[in-house]
Amino acid sequence: MPEALSTRAVGVRFQGLAALDRVDLTLPRGEIVGLLGPNGAGKTTLVNVLSGFQRPDAGQVLLDDHSLERAGPESLARRGVARTFQSVRLFDRLTVTENAEMGALVHGGSRTRARAVARQAIAFTGLESVADRLAGSLPYALERRVGIARALAQHPRFLLLDEPAAGMHDAECLDLVALIRRIPDAFECGVLLIEHNMSVVMATCASLHVLASGRTLATGPVDHVRNDPAVIDAYLGAA
Amino acid sequence: MNLRRPRLFPATGLIAVLAVLAVGSRLWGNTLVEGALTEALLYLVLVVGLSIFVGNSGVVSFGHIGFAAIGAYASAWQTCCTGFRGVFMPGLPTFLLELDMPVVTAALLAGLLAALVAAVVGIAIMRLGGIAISIALLSLLFIVKSVYENWDSVTAGQSSLVGLPLYVDLWVALAWAAGAIVVAQIYQRSAFGLKLRAVRDDEAAARACGVTPWIQRLIAFVLSAFVAGVGGALYGHYLGTLAVSIFWLDMTFVTIAMLVLGGMRSLTGAVVGTLAVTATREILRSLERGVDLGTLHWQAPQGSQEIVLALILLGILVFRPEGLVGDRELGVRKAV
């Protein structure tokens, strides 16, 4: 069994409403998987399940072959699952370096060591010029980059990116695509990418997982999924 | 780049400023000023203790003066009124009745007791979120007061305890204030301090970085209770007498005013706020005593102290909610 973060028949219900229903998703280490679906399809709920913020009502989350029965976000972070947030959620009153340092501190150790790791993540994401600024003072596109730097400083085995391109214009999207594509090799990690921007998805992902109303609509290699009639009908065709 | 600053800056700078003020007041020879500065330095120990928790966690605590009370009485139990201790506090265990503890050790042990109490109650309180924590901490102050006021056999209840060794002078106060600043600085710079400030800014994101919020709050809470406990002990040995009512809403309000006025999140703010509020109080106090303007004798009404201080605090909150110095620290350029 290759290293992977996966869900098996995961279900989440909010007040009787099924947000996720029997979802099987596999994120192999070293690959980029795109998670697609219309608004309300359950994408963020799935990321919350995978990162320990949401406990599933049914099914299992597996890290490699170990079931993560009662693991909260803290414990998952320590085991190598990092995430970004749709609403970014930076530590606004800390500097960019300190934000990344917080990621590096997930594995313990001194601040000196954490700062060195943070600097690498900052260099990787191209944030050197704003490293000493307060995170709360940055423009939107840079904020999202800091969120990625913070997650990468955790040296995760699996990275969950929740709409990293939201609110970015085309040039910024191209930069972001280039950045995301470098992640699996540089950090030896699997990337789950939630994204509405199809050009970003197509330029980065090898395989896709499409959700609709909490259920898996299609999953597999990009070419396979994008020609799936159900997908065209429910999601891509809507455009 | 301010990352390569000397490890203990701004603490060393702040201590230097305080030392200069202390030497200056002694050379000036004005006992009123020297007394005020001594009291300011003692308050500074309390305020710095408070800021370790409040500044890094973003949670306002109305309960820390309770730890000052715990510290003050704990020191009294070890050092007060040799020979008569059993008369004033017959309920003390035998080993305490016969104890003749050096005052410095007594102060540190007093801080430890406050820290221990903080650790026990903190396990529950630090799990609360938002305003609930502040209310729970206020309740803690009420509980400490009730217990100590009614625990006659070890606190002399509602009457005063007299005969504490008077060893706290300007230099002793300066030394402890410096110690408190150094402790606060080391914590602030540590990974613990950083993690708590991350929790303060965004709890969910901190959890995603492997941080358990309540544990980080608890660490700061225990450390700050220790410093506040030591501060309370020193205050007792400055006054020479203890009453539970000293450690009540007045002191709570004044210490919070000092912290908020200076800037909650900065050590420099704690120092500036403490000095500014003490100076204001001293001026108002002398106005309450009355001033002679030529033939005219004018006296500010009793209670002006509290009212004017409240107005100043209100003004700061409205016009400069970040406090006088905001997030800035002495000698550190503000990160934009």
Mean pLDDT of chain A: 94
In this structure, the dihedral spanned by the alpha carbons of residues B217, B221, B223 and B224, taken in order and rounded to 10 degrees, is 130
**Six-digit token pair at B54?**
């409040």
**Considering only CB atoms, which residues of chain A are within 8 Å of chain B?**
51, 53, 72-75, 77-78, 82-83, 85, 89-95, 97-98, 101-103, 105-107, 110-111, 114-115, 132-134, 137, 150-151, 154
Q: How far apart are CA B219 and CA B225, in angstroms?
A: 10
| A70 confidence band (pLDDT: 50, 70, 90) | confident
Closest partner residue to A92 (CB to CB) among B2, B201, B211 is B201
Q: How far apart are CA B25 and CA B41, in angstroms?
A: 13
pLDDT tens digits along B237-247: 999 999 999 99
Tell me which of B292 and A150 has the higher pLDDT. Answer: A150
Weakest-pLDDT range from A151-160, A193-202, B104-113: A193-202
Closest partner residue to A93 (CB to CB) among B197, B205, B336 is B197
What's the helix, strand, coil split of chain A in %, to 5?
A: 40, 25, 30
The helix/strand/coil state of A119 is helix
pLDDT for residue B3 is more than 80: no
Domains of chain B (ranges plus CATH)?
Answer: 10-252 (1.10.3470)
Beta-carbon separation of B202 and A97 below 8 A: no
pLDDT tens digits along B298-318: 888 888 888 998 999 899 989
pTM to 2 decimal places: 0.94
Measured between beta carbons, the chain A residues lying within 8 angstroms of B335 are 95, 132-134
pLDDT for residue A204 is more than 90: yes
pLDDT value of position B7 = 62
Range A46-52 average pLDDT: 97
pLDDT tens digits along B40-72: 999 999 999 999 999 999 999 999 999 999 999
pLDDT value of position A237 = 53
pLDDT value of position B24 = 96
Range B118-128 average pLDDT: 98
| A233 confidence band (pLDDT: 50, 70, 90) | confident
**Six-digit token pair at B245?**
């009512």
pLDDT tens digits along A88-136: 999 999 999 999 999 999 999 999 999 999 999 999 999 999 999 999 9
Phi, psi of A189 (to 5 degrees): -130, 160
Range B3-10 average pLDDT: 63
Beta-carbon separation of A77 and B336 below 8 A: no
pLDDT value of position B128 = 95
The beta strands (E) that lie in B105-195 are given as 161-162
Beta-carbon separation of A98 and B209 below 8 A: no
